[in-house]
A and B are shown apart, each in its own frame.
Chain A
Amino acid sequence: EDKVVQSPLSLVVHEGDTVTLNCSYEVTNFRSLLWYKQEKKAPTFLFMLTSSGIEKKSGRLSSILDKKELFSILNITATQTGDSAIYLCAPMNYGGATNKLIFGTGTLLAVQP
């Protein structure tokens, strides 16, 4: 059975802090791992990681994948209140007729002014 564990479950920080969110996975037919940000409603795409050890960056956010140890981290530097959201990790199961994203329960990040 596919399994995704995110930690911590929730986190409260102050503006300017740096945070690291963790995701470990056991997914059959693994192909890629995606990160999403969910504020009020629809999850929005952040990163897609396919290769191990290659960091992807977008502004203050960065992410990396370790396919040997089966985990990924999402870093946010100089946090802002607008970073408050649920961050979802979703490895992709590539078997069958289509790919399927297997979601973790998410990390709830609250950034206080």
Chain B
Amino acid sequence: GDSVTQTEGLVTLTKGLPVMLNCTYQTTYSPFLFWYVQHLNEAPKLLLKSSTDNKRTEHQGFYATLHKSSSSFHLQKSSVQLSDSALYFCALIEAGYQNFYFGKGTSLTVIP
């Protein structure tokens, strides 16, 4: 099966509402988890990352907590803005390895 699963392909939200984008993973090694964001016609860029269990990490209003017990690293924001419209990728690297596993991505569209 997939190493990284993002269950939502498309999410449409009204500006100001909260969002949670799901990410679960499979690995037998110690994981490093990442969220990348890709705006239209741009390259993916790192949004945030974590390897510490149960510690919240934040950047640009987005936050995520790595939960190793449930193999999850969901991305959240309390109030989405129009500029948050983008493609969001969850990614996993296993400790000691050099390649990444990307999820299929979630397209977030924020409407006025």
A and B found bound together: no
